[in-house]
Amino acid sequence: MHSLKNPTFHVCLAAIALLALPAQAQEDALNLESAPVEAAESPSNTKWSIEGTLGNASQRYATDSIDSSRVSLDVLYSGRIGTGLRAVLSNRLDVIHATGAEADTQRNSLREAYLSWQPGGSDTVIDLGRINQRNGPGYGYNPTDFFRDGSLRVITSADPFALRQNRMGSVMLRAQKLWNGGSLSVAYSPKMADKPSTDTWDLDLGSTNNRDRAVITLGTQFSQSVNSQILLYQESGLKPTLGANMTALLSDAAVAHLEWTTGSESALVNRVFGAAPSEITRNRFVGGVTYTTLSKTSFTAEYQYNGFALDSTGWAALGTTQQLGYLRESLRLQELAPRQAYLLYVMQKGLWLKDLDLTGYVRFNGDDDSRLTWLELRHHWRNFDLTLQLQHNTGSGGSEFGILPDRRVVQALGTYYF
C-alpha cells in the first residue's frame, strides 16, 4: 500500500481514531450526507431486480442507426449481522449488445461492500470497505462530491441521479460522530492500484483507489430550514481543496441549494490528454432553486460552473477528434466539460394516472448554446416498472452536443423487482 508523507493524511487518521472513542448515546442526529436516507428494515434485507432494455440510436455521421439491448441484474443487501454491526452489499451486472460492436460488453460493478459498526448504540459509527460516499445537493453537477471520478464502469442512462446510484464506491475507512444538529465525518481512501481494468469481474480498484485521498466533513443544521456542510479534501500530490454546500428552505414550496469548491490542480484538458501537470487555482460552483406546485410538479433551475474546464476559445482550438476525446474523458471523470452550463429539471408524480411519473431535463452549454434533452416516462406496478426514455442532442457543428455521434437515443426498459 502506498505510504503517505503529507501531514494532512496523518491528521485525518488521527481524527478517525479520536472519533472511534465511545460516547454517550444521544438523540438521533441530522444526517447531512447526500446519499438517500436508509429506510426502516423490511422483512427481507435483500432486494433484487432484473432489467431488460431495447434501444435505438440515430447517428449524426452515418445513415444507419445502432440497435442495442441490455440485461442488468441488481442486488442490494443491508442487515444486522451482530450487536452493533451491520453489513452492506450492493452489486450490479450489466450485459450490453450493440450492432456494429466487436463484442458484447459485460461489466460487473461492486458498488458497495462494507461493514458498519456502532458500538453500544453510541453516536459514533465506524465503516470499513467499499463505500459509495456521495456529497452535494446539486442535480446535474456536484463539485463537493470528491469521490465521483472514474467510478462508473458502464453508463446506461443519462439521468444524473441514476449515475450517482450506479457508480462504484471507494475502499475507505470512515468514522462519523453524530450529535443533535450536526455531524463530523472523516474518511481515508488509500491507493490500491494504478490503472483501471476492463475485465468483467475485476474490482477495478484502479478506477476508485488509484491515489491516496482523504476528506473531513462537518455538517451543521443552522436552523429548521438551513443545512450545510464544510469539507476539506486532500489527495496525494495536491494542495488541500476547501468546499461547502448548503440547502435552504425559502418557502413551503421552494428550496435553494448551492455547492462551491476552491483548490489547485491541473486544467481539465491537461488531465484528459495526460499533459505535464501544471497547477492552477480555480473555483467550481453550482447554485439552484427547486419549486414544487400543489399538483406535485417540481421545477429545478441550476447554474453550473467549472473553472478548470475549457472556455469557448480553448474548445475551438481543439480538433474534432480531440473534442470527442475531451467529452468522453470528462464524462468518465464526471466533470463539467464546458466552463459554464445551465440545467432545467422537471419531475411530475402521478401524471394522468396515479402510478405514472414523468421526469426530464434540458442541459444547456453556456458557451455554445448546444443542449441535451432527456425525458423519461415510467409506470409502476407492484413488482414491475415499464419505462420509455428519449435523449436528443442538438447544436451547431463543433458544439458540445452538436458534435456527439448519437443524435437521438430511444430506450424501452422493463424492470422486475423480487
Domain boundaries, the chain: 7-31+52-417
Residues 25-39 pLDDT 10s: 333 323 334 333 333
| Model confidence at 17: pLDDT above 70 | no
Element spanning 205, H or E: helix 205-208
Residues 215-240 pLDDT 10s: 999 999 988 899 999 999 999 999 99
Euclidean distance between CA atoms 213 and 173, whole angstroms: 11
- Supply the pLDDT for residue 294: 92
- Supply the pLDDT for residue 20: 45
Lowest mean pLDDT segment, chosen from 3-12, 94-103, 120-129, 159-168: 3-12
| Model confidence at 21: pLDDT above 70 | no
What's the topology of domain 7-31+52-417? Porin (2.40.160)
- Supply the pLDDT for residue 19: 53
Euclidean distance between CA atoms 351 and 362, whole angstroms: 19
What contacts 24+ positions apart, CB below 8 Å, involve 4-10?
4/212, 4/236, 6/212, 6/234, 6/236, 8/214, 8/234, 8/240, 9/188, 9/212, 9/214, 9/234, 9/236
Calculate what percentage of the chain has a pLDDT beyond 70. 89
| Model confidence at 121: pLDDT above 80 | no
Residues 124-180 pLDDT 10s: 999 999 999 999 999 999 999 999 999 999 999 999 999 999 999 999 999 999 999
Higher-confidence residue: 7 or 383?
383
State mean pLDDT over 255-260: 98
Of 376, 375, 373, the C-alpha closest to 394 is 373
Which alpha helices (H) appear in 4-46, and where do they start and end? 7-19
Point out which residues pair with 410 in neighbouring strands: 56, 390
Q: 317: Cβ–Cβ under 8 A, 6 or more apart, which residues? A: none
- Supply the pLDDT for residue 23: 39
Q: 244: Cβ–Cβ under 8 A, 6 or more apart, which residues? A: 144, 228, 229, 230, 231, 259, 260, 261
State mean pLDDT over 55-63: 92
User: Cell match 429548521: residue?
Assistant: 224
DSSP at 202 = -
| Model confidence at 328: pLDDT above 80 | yes
- Supply the pLDDT for residue 100: 79
**pTM for this model (two decimals):** 0.88
Extended beta strands in 366-405, E state: 371-380, 384-394
What contacts 24+ positions apart, CB below 8 Å, involve 41-46?
41/78, 41/79, 45/77, 45/78, 45/79, 46/75, 46/76, 46/77, 46/79
- Supply the pLDDT for residue 275: 83
| Model confidence at 10: pLDDT above 90 | no
Residues 179-215 pLDDT 10s: 999 999 999 999 999 999 999 999 999 999 999 999 9
| Model confidence at 22: pLDDT above 70 | no
Euclidean distance between CA atoms 217 and 33, whole angstroms: 9
| Model confidence at 41: pLDDT above 50 | no
